Chains A and B, each alone.
Chain A
């Protein structure tokens, strides 16, 4: 009993399912590929008639209630961490072999005690929606095959008999080899090992010979052990839940320091921080902070987190916190000779975070004229850290008077002669129009519910003053005055 393999069949499916409560009991399929090549990769038992590999359209034809989802890397990471954590209870020497697949080095472990622990862990994982199967054998490969072959735990004591009926695909032949072997009628590992190894090697080359060895269970390999410090995350729970900022910030700093230290020790800095507050009402609050400059300066992190948290009001008490630092290599940057940058980017971003916390993140940024015909439309973009070079002068200089916009515009009633405005009646402005220029028409987004159409007039009032009038579906308004 040298190795154990913990394998979650249809791992992507289970990972998605446990991340979304609404999927419970519903037929679920995980989709691979796009467009016409999309097929169902994994499928839940509720999806009757649907098999893995079926085209998406055909799958929907056979099971109209089928819910299709793509793989969810986040959910898989989370579920994968659970499997690794479980594996680490068996032995400190754990390899994260693949998605939903760990290999554990059990050399020297007591078999009976290990089996008991293993069954306990499988129960724990099943309870949280991760059905794990385990195989125990003399090599990592055999252990993995054993895990795939069972619904619970499989202990391999006679490798040759065990391997013989297993499908050839489990030995992972290359696509080319799989095709050739299918032509040969080789379907199981036993079919392959029944052929002379040398002859197979002559025909399929060294990779074919290696495949034969895998099929015979002759392959072993050293494990690539999990290095916990590579995951720069911290998560903790509060018992009792916290209501005030201080205990939150206190522990946050402790953990942030540890994460920063681990990052630095591994030669990394953080480029993003992800903070999750788990709330007592089973909701959570998530926020990701892209750092102004990748770094491992805890004071800087703390300022950003503090700025966000001090204005945050949650609907329920915080029961847990998770902080994840995304590692990156330290930046190597040389300022341009003529580049104008922020003097202290950290302070700038900290200030911006404070403003965002006050007015809402979606209302902070650099306004940029939107690519639309709609006058005065803009979008907010992330502010540039360096001041961009001024654009070259326009071909045609602006003509005429400058419009000073009223924000918001003044609603008015307008009397017209035909289409032409002749009198304005309104609370803030009114009078006869002595000259009018227009209409200037623009319209857009006809394909959405927000379709708009504007007709502009530039008018001179008899009493003096040049104004811009706009007529929309909502009526007339004075948009501004020409200075």
Chain B
């Protein structure tokens, strides 16, 4: 049979979510191998996998046809194929309508809707879930005929195909005979499909596992719900011809029908909305006007350099038709600023002076010598990507809702985020399906945290530790199936901030669904899909630090100490001194253990140093072996050299080391002779994480270009290694500078507005690297006192009482509702509480809330101590009706209870506030730990000394770049102590490390250049004797 004589027109991928066993990319590759000219992907109730098939199909030489299985209101499933753009739009419309009126995953298409408008769609009668075969099986031939007739009435003879499938299942011929007879009787064409559910026979196991997950059962209990065999895979044209040798027209019709399916995603027809410009203006003229106006504001006067760059950028933006896009983003930024919401563009947009002039970004690209081509170039086929950082929480949501308001529910949506089966979730789900006991799963989960570095032990070894021995009868199936399932999509979530806009209804281009969050809709493609389809996305990202900074500024303004972030001195000595001392808890980006360990070596003195610091502790530079060379060159330990003299201007600022993506692109252009378009393709290959092949092609092309231009093999190798590393995770320079702005501003606020900064950080939790408890301890070390909540003095949120004093808010007391807090504040506004009885009479707190307030010390000003308050509030909390309405005056009688001890107060603090404003728990244990060195003393000891450290575990990390080494940070009453745990010790003490809230670690001290670590030799649990456990930041 010749290539092209058979086309698979009914395939489902794993994007049918538990109804298909292979990725679209795998289907495309397999179709290519089997020489199928085209494949139609009909995922259930969506086109979730269509873009992936389209892109992978291009690589594999397989035409990706678009379709979908529609779940109808009666539960039957109708596969439809898209013949034209109109058909595609109709399909998206049908799916959107069905999904938006139902709960997530419950969307059903009404028969009347399908009948109303189906132009451009071609229907198949479907597989066993289709309206014909489903009725045939349940009710016989007559009902099946009625089901078919319904389809025929809707689609007519020319757009309905009777689908026949053969899977080597005994008895299936009876069904096929009926279908052939019925088709013949009604003059309808037969169409052979294999109803593909997985690319290859081996993936049938995945399908069985998914069936069990869908049906909430196990493989042992699933019975006939499992696949009968593995025949529903992609087959060659020859195999299908042989299978249907008695029905050759059914096979021939596949090619004929495929020819009629003119639509592919190559002609999606998407268009970005125009900005509503004033009369007499065009998108381009108005963008030009606003950019120049903004530049005037930014620079004071538009110099020649600025003018040249502005004109160059504006001309290119106009030529590419992006003016409207810039105006829309500018408008959103304006909207945010008018409402006092901090907003700042990040990423490659910071390379553009137009973005800077329009107020989208805060970095001057001319002063920073940033590469505009990293952001936009003539050769780019896709839209530029502008990401906006906003304060997380309500402020960001208000901007998102404004976008919905402006563009309508069908004109804007969040991009999807595909939630895939990852290590631990895969193990949990597959184990459950295989019937393994819960305790094994729990133990596995405890042993192997989600973000834990996974490669030290083979999966079988991990399982052995979790209790599944090598001779376990299901071990092989578990391991093999986990490997197959890993990486497949589990369900669709929404991206954290990616919004897509379109001219007209977005639902013409991609179906929309309800997000779990009220008021939000999400489209069926993720951000990579959108990028591949040229759909423009604006990322409205929520940054906890932006929210904290916003609140800091508000507190400062309210206290008459306003701060203008735009006018912060860029070289504040106190700020840099704090940064160099790695005293950066709470500071954006440079607060992690790894950053803190680098700061004393890096010793930043300028803003650009900070940008390098932000960028250097990333997997890209670490794997590219850029960190140590840079630091050594900086300290003069090694000479500054250049891989090629021509690269000197590019790498001068980074001492000859490649640290930023832009540098790779510039090298490609300067040394490799790449055009802007080629450099852009290189950029996309670096950023495209799904295809190693694409990156390899780009590497090969660059390698050849460098060789051709006389770059030495060694230099070429270094460049290509850097390229590969950046594909892992590397910052563009502009992005690093944008983040460094926030890092610097947050550091400045920490130094100069400490109280406001800590108060805001506490109010914005959870965020950042450290828990509230650690932040309070850090504040104490920096001289900022934290007062407990108080019904007479506290607001709802944490507030500043003095330059060195903050007071916790009443909202920080666990278990006290916002309504109760408001009632307290409202009553206090009327007049202060005169006594406990007065407080109890005029507030509407529940018994539990009164207890919580008492336990947290919030009623101490109305009573002698916490226990006295507890005694007093209980007087009106009696469970006995006789006592329930006892006069609140009883509350003011003297308490017979003794005041809490220091340890009890500590315990009560953690119980009710999750932090303590008093002494660190370790202070109470110190006397029992005579051989343990406090964290602050470690710096005074010499390297190589054996020491013991102890404290609450506040971070556990095993970054992928650390080759299995685990880093643990312990907090004691004096500060933080870091331990390095080698892989062998980690494996032997894995459970202790992962589960114990407090540890005692003994080992050799490493104290070099201000970087202090303990190389762990033994690790044991620290018996805390009822002291509270702190929250820890683990494996993120």
B interface, over-half SS = helix
In the complex, what residues of B have CB within 8 A of residue A184's CB? 867, 870-871, 897
A136 to B929 alpha-carbon distance, docked (Å): 43
A448 to B995 alpha-carbon distance, docked (Å): 34
Within residues 878 to 915 of chain B, which ones have a CB less than 8 A from any CB in chain A?
878-880, 883, 886, 890, 896-898, 900, 904, 908
Q: Please judge, given known A-B contacts A56-B439, A56-B442, A371-B223, whether A439 and B168 are in contact too, CB under 8 Å.
A: yes
A203, B874: Cβ atoms closer than 8 Å: yes
* B893 to A, closest residue via Cβ: A199
Within residues 149 to 192 of chain B, which ones have a CB less than 8 A from any CB in chain A?
168-170, 174
Q: Please judge, given known A-B contacts A58-B996, A184-B867, A441-B229, whether A456 and B170 are in contact too, CB under 8 Å.
A: yes
Kindly name the residue among B438, B879, B908 whose own CB sees the greatest number of chain A CB atoms within 10 A.
B879
A399 within 8 A of B: yes
A476 to chain B, nearest CB (A): 17
A455 to B594 alpha-carbon distance, docked (Å): 60
* B876 to A, closest residue via Cβ: A203
Chain A, 285-315, contact with B by CB distance < 8 Å: what is the 0/1 string? 0000000000000000000000000000000
In the complex, what residues of A have CB within 8 A of residue B831's CB? none
In the complex, what residues of B have CB within 8 A of residue A196's CB? 896
In the complex, what residues of A have CB within 8 A of residue B230's CB? 443
* B1023 to A, closest residue via Cβ: A49
Cβ contact of A183, chosen from B855, B875, B996, cutoff 8 A: B855
Q: Please judge, given known A-B contacts A196-B896, A205-B878, A395-B137, whether A447 and B442 are in contact too, CB under 8 Å.
A: no
In the complex, what residues of B have CB within 8 A of residue A55's CB? 995
B336 within 8 A of A: no
A207 to B1003 alpha-carbon distance, docked (Å): 54
A170 to B473 alpha-carbon distance, docked (Å): 47
In which size bucket is the chain A interface? 35 or more
A370 to B226 alpha-carbon distance, docked (Å): 13
A447, B991: Cβ atoms closer than 8 Å: no
Within residues 175 to 198 of chain A, which ones have a CB less than 8 A from any CB in chain B?
180, 183-185, 194-196
Cβ contact of A180, chosen from B168, B170, B874, cutoff 8 A: B874
A439 to B172 alpha-carbon distance, docked (Å): 12
B446 within 8 A of A: yes
B477 within 8 A of A: yes
The stretch of A30-38, A75-83, A325-333, A409-417 in contact with B is A30-38
B443, A60: Cβ atoms closer than 8 Å: yes
Q: Please judge, given known A-B contacts A61-B995, A396-B140, whether A444 and B226 are in contact too, CB under 8 Å.
A: yes
B229, A442: Cβ atoms closer than 8 Å: yes
A206 within 8 A of B: yes
B442, A36: Cβ atoms closer than 8 Å: yes
In the complex, what residues of B have CB within 8 A of residue A194's CB? 896
A55 to B995 alpha-carbon distance, docked (Å): 10
A204 to B876 alpha-carbon distance, docked (Å): 10
B704 to chain A, nearest CB (A): 47
B228, A203: Cβ atoms closer than 8 Å: no
B443, A206: Cβ atoms closer than 8 Å: no
Chain B, 977-993, contact with A by CB distance < 8 Å: what is the 0/1 string? 00000000000000110
In the complex, what residues of B have CB within 8 A of residue A203's CB? 871, 874-875, 877-878, 883
Within residues 13 to 62 of chain B, which ones have a CB less than 8 A from any CB in chain A?
none
B224 within 8 A of A: yes
A1 to B968 alpha-carbon distance, docked (Å): 60
Cβ contact of A57, chosen from B170, B474, B991, cutoff 8 A: B991
A444 to B229 alpha-carbon distance, docked (Å): 7
B1021, A62: Cβ atoms closer than 8 Å: yes
A204, B878: Cβ atoms closer than 8 Å: yes
In the complex, what residues of B have CB within 8 A of residue A56's CB? 439, 442
Chain A, 435-466, contact with B by CB distance < 8 Å: what is the 0/1 string? 00011111110111100010010000000000
In the complex, what residues of A have CB within 8 A of residue B996's CB? 58, 61
B21 to chain A, nearest CB (A): 13
* A174 to B, closest residue via Cβ: B879
In the complex, what residues of B have CB within 8 A of residue A372's CB? 223-224
In the complex, what residues of B have CB within 8 A of residue A117's CB? none
Within residues 331 to 374 of chain A, which ones have a CB less than 8 A from any CB in chain B?
370-373
In the complex, what residues of B have CB within 8 A of residue A370's CB? 223
In the complex, what residues of A have CB within 8 A of residue B714's CB? none
Number of residues on chain B facing chain A (CB within 8 A):
54
A395 to B140 alpha-carbon distance, docked (Å): 6
Number of contacts between A and B (CB, 8 Å)?
Answer: 126
A204, B879: Cβ atoms closer than 8 Å: yes
A419 to B104 alpha-carbon distance, docked (Å): 47
B169, A183: Cβ atoms closer than 8 Å: no
* A176 to B, closest residue via Cβ: B879
A57, B168: Cβ atoms closer than 8 Å: no
A185, B443: Cβ atoms closer than 8 Å: no
* B474 to A, closest residue via Cβ: A447
A371 to B205 alpha-carbon distance, docked (Å): 18
A152 to B481 alpha-carbon distance, docked (Å): 57
Cβ contact of A441, chosen from B140, B168, B874, B878, cutoff 8 A: B168
In the complex, what residues of A have CB within 8 A of residue B995's CB? 55, 57-58, 61
B683 within 8 A of A: no
B168, A440: Cβ atoms closer than 8 Å: yes
Cβ contact of A448, chosen from B224, B446, B477, cutoff 8 A: B477
B875, A202: Cβ atoms closer than 8 Å: yes
Chain B, 718-737, contact with A by CB distance < 8 Å: what is the 0/1 string? 00000000000000000000
Q: Please judge, given known A-B contacts A195-B896, A196-B896, A207-B879, whether A185 and B904 are in contact too, CB under 8 Å.
A: yes
A446 to B478 alpha-carbon distance, docked (Å): 11
A38, B442: Cβ atoms closer than 8 Å: yes
Within residues 455 to 494 of chain B, which ones have a CB less than 8 A from any CB in chain A?
473-474, 477, 481
Chain B, 410-444, contact with A by CB distance < 8 Å: what is the 0/1 string? 00000000000000000000000010001100110
A70 to chain B, nearest CB (A): 11
B231 within 8 A of A: yes
* B873 to A, closest residue via Cβ: A203
Kindly name the residue among A34, A202, A206, A442 whose own CB sees the greatest number of chain B CB atoms within 10 A.
A202
A448, B168: Cβ atoms closer than 8 Å: no
A446, B205: Cβ atoms closer than 8 Å: yes
A395 to B867 alpha-carbon distance, docked (Å): 76
Q: Please judge, given known A-B contacts A58-B996, A447-B477, whether A371 and B224 are in contact too, CB under 8 Å.
A: yes
B139 within 8 A of A: yes
B851, A183: Cβ atoms closer than 8 Å: yes
In the complex, what residues of A have CB within 8 A of residue B1021's CB? 49, 62
* B139 to A, closest residue via Cβ: A395
Cβ contact of B224, chosen from A57, A373, A447, cutoff 8 A: A373
In the complex, what residues of B have CB within 8 A of residue A206's CB? 880
* A449 to B, closest residue via Cβ: B473
* B173 to A, closest residue via Cβ: A437
B578 within 8 A of A: no
B558 within 8 A of A: no
In the complex, what residues of B have CB within 8 A of residue A439's CB? 168
A74 to B168 alpha-carbon distance, docked (Å): 52
B927 within 8 A of A: no
A146 to B880 alpha-carbon distance, docked (Å): 32
* A438 to B, closest residue via Cβ: B168
In the complex, what residues of A have CB within 8 A of residue B228's CB? 373, 441-444
A36 to B442 alpha-carbon distance, docked (Å): 6
B138 within 8 A of A: yes
In the complex, what residues of A have CB within 8 A of residue B855's CB? 183
Cβ contact of B443, chosen from A57, A180, A373, cutoff 8 A: A57
In the complex, what residues of B have CB within 8 A of residue A396's CB? 140, 174
B residues whose Cβ falls under 8 Å from a Cβ of A: 137-140, 168-170, 174, 205, 208, 219, 223-224, 226, 228-231, 434, 438-439, 442-443, 446, 473-474, 477, 481, 851, 854-855, 867, 870-871, 874-875, 877-880, 883, 886, 890, 896-898, 900, 904, 908, 991-992, 995-996, 1021
Q: Can you list 5 pairs linking A and B with CB atoms under 8 Å apart?
A: A57-B446, A194-B896, A199-B896, A203-B874, A373-B226
Known contacts A446-B477, A448-B474; 9 additional CB pairs below 8 A are A49-B1021, A58-B991, A61-B446, A184-B871, A201-B883, A202-B878, A203-B883, A396-B140, A444-B228
Instruction: Give 7 closest A-B pairs by Cβ, nearest first.
Output: A371-B223, A61-B991, A205-B880, A447-B477, A440-B170, A205-B879, A203-B874
